[in-house]
Structure 1
Amino acid sequence: MQIIKKKHPLAIRWFHWVNFPVLAIMIWSGMLIYWANGVYKIQLGDIVLVKFFPKGFYTSLKIPQRLAEGMAIHFVFMWLFFLNGLFYVLYTFISGQWRYLVPNKYSFKEAWQVLLHDLHLSKYHPPVGKFNGAQQIAYSAIILMGIGSLLTGLAIYKPVQFFWLTWLLGGYASARAIHFILTIGYVLFFLVHIIQIIRAGWNNFQSMITGFEIQPLAPTPEEEPTPNEEIPVNS
């Protein structure tokens, strides 16, 4: 027998599904802007290990190199990203959902245990709750990253009007570098998030759509089999 258990409120699901395409468009439009001054790379001495991004990257993904279009799209969706994030944070505090999301003193230990289990280095799996320690840390980090992206974005968008913010972030070049690093962080989060969704299975995914999860009902003491009793199996 199975039971239906509520998991995600409607507001949380809306914020999640609005944020996903908005952030994806922000990253895409950011690529339209970045190509005009693609200075970042990982270099060891005179050897370039990784360049962000070679021309072949744009060609293979069919990313148009249109600066004005990228800036227009980026700045429009910046406000959607900001408003959706603001309402999400306000809702979590007003509704009390923050209690499930904010890491506690056990979260880092639990996150390490989750990592070892997922890498098949440990058979121990921490107790399953609404969010485990790794998820609490990741989701809280995403909120902080969103704030960082907004501040650094304003600093490089209006460095004169927000000169004090640009100065606090170490200057224009520093603010732009932080903005770029945060974007790479979003991409990595997307990849890990999708892999974890696939691992968790359909039941976990549909709970973010419907708001509930289907779980097996634990047997009552009267239903538990005795040591010599055969357990029926549905074929």
Structure 2
Amino acid sequence: MKRIVHKHPLAIRWFHWINFPVLFVMIWSGLLIYWAYDPYKIQIGDYVLFSFFPDGFYKALGVPFRLAEGMAWHWVFMWLFILNGILYVGYTFMSGEWRHLVPDRNSFREAIQVTLYDFGLRKTQPPFVKYNGAQKIAYFTIILMGIGSVLTGFAIYKPVQIAWLTTLLGGYKAARLEHFVLTVGFVLFFFIHVAQVIRAGWHNFQSMVTGFEVVKPSDPERPVSQAPAPMPEPDPVSPSQPALS
């Protein structure tokens, strides 16, 4: 018989689904800003392996000459991103959800086991928990990346007014590079996260929408504890055999 397991509180689901479009607009508008000055590239000596980003990439997405538009969208959604992040972190502490997110001493070992299993290098599947070691490390890192994005964003937004922060981050150029690297990290996390959700199946996605997950008894990843077998009934006492007192 199937059972329904409560997995994600309503608040966590709201923060998750609000953050998705907000972060998307932040990255998109950031790209419009970055177009005006895009110095970053991967190169060996004088040979450029990859430039962030080719002109064809900008033209295909309609990015050129939209700097002012990008800045306007970026500043507005920055405050939504900050507000949603503060509420999320505050809720996790008040509700105790942080215990599921903060890595512990076993998380790195579990993360290695999960990674080996995902790549088919380990046959035995790690035990099912709400968040395994790899997820704890990933989600906790994303929170730190969000904080880092806000700090580096303010450092390059107000480099004179908040000069101490810009200096602390290594100067304007360093803060801008750090902001860019964090943004690339968010994009990579998004693709990996979506791939993992698809791999986990519909029920995993459904749990982030409804808060509940339907679990089958035969699902090896989510074992259902079986009810204890009923005790056998004692044999009836024969009339010819007196009962022992």
Partner of 1:136: 136
Cα distance in 1 for residues equivalent to 2:40 and 2:211: 41
Query: CA–CA distance in 1 between the matches of 2:138 and 2:67?
Result: 32
| Identical positions, percent | 66
Task: Name the larger-Rg structure.
Answer: 2
Aligned ranges for residues 167-182 of structure 1 at < 5 Å? Answer: 167-182=167-182
Letter matched to residue 186 of structure 1? F
Q: Where does structure 1 lack aligned partners over 5 or more consecutive residues? A: 224-235
What residue is the counterpart of 1:31 in the other structure?
A: 31
Corresponding residue SS for 2:183 = helix
One-letter amino acid matched to 1:46? D
**TM-fit CA distance, 1:63:** 3.0
Whole-angstrom distance in 2 between the partners of 1:144 and 1:178: 13
- The alignment's TM-score, normalised by the length of structure 1, stands at 0.93
Q: Provide the secondary structure at the position in 1 that maps to 2:35.
A: helix
User: 2:67 corresponds to which letter in structure 1?
Assistant: L
**1:208-228 Cα distance to aligned partner (Å, 9 max, x none):** 0000011124333439xxxxx
Alpha-carbon shift at residue 61 of structure 1 (Å) = 2.6
Q: Secondary structure at the match of 2:159?
A: coil
Corresponding residue pairs, total: 223
2:19 is matched with which residue? 19
Q: Which residue identity does 2:130 align to in structure 1?
A: K
Is it true that 1:59 corresponds to 2:59 in the alignment? yes
Q: 1:32-181 alignment to 2 at 5 Å? A: 32-181=32-181
Partner of 2:234: none
CA distance 1:135–1:40, shift in 2 (3 Å):
same
CA deviation digits over 1:74-99, x for unaligned, max 9? 00000000000000000000000000
1:183 Cα deviation after fit? 0.2
1:13-39 alpha-carbon deviations (Å, 9 max, x no partner): 000000011001000000000000000
Q: For the residues of structure 1 that align with 2:5 and 2:58, how far apart are their CA atoms? A: 45
**Residue-by-residue CA offset, 1:158-199 (whole Å, 9 max, x unaligned):** 000000000000000000000000000000000000000000
Q: CA deviation at 1:125?
A: 1.6
Alignment partners' CA distance in 2, 1:61 and 1:122 = 41
Measured after TM superposition, the shift of residue 124 of structure 1 is 2.0
Q: Distance in 1 between matches of 2:198 and 2:158?
A: 41
2-structure distance, mates of 1:29, 1:130: 34
- The alpha-carbon deviation at position 2 of structure 1 amounts to 0.5
Q: Answer yes or no: is the 8 Å Cα contact 2:26–2:74 preserved in 1.
A: yes
1:16-68 CA-to-partner distances (Å, cap 9, x unmatched) read 00001100100000000000000000010111011000110112233353000
Q: Work out whether residues 100 and 131 of structure 2, in 8 Å CA contact, stay in contact via their aligned partners in 1.
A: yes
Q: Deviations over 1:131-150 (max 9, x none)?
A: 00000000000000000000
Residue equivalent to 2:236: none
Contact 2:35 2:64 in 1 (8 A): no
Structure 1, residues 103-138: CA drift from partner, whole Å, max 9, x if none?
000000000100000001111221110000000000
Runs of 4+ in 1 over 6 A off after TM superposition: none
Q: Secondary structure of 2:36's match?
A: helix
What secondary structure does 1:130 align onto?
coil
User: Normalized against structure 2, the TM-score is what?
Assistant: 0.89
**Coordinate RMSD, CA, aligned:** 1.1
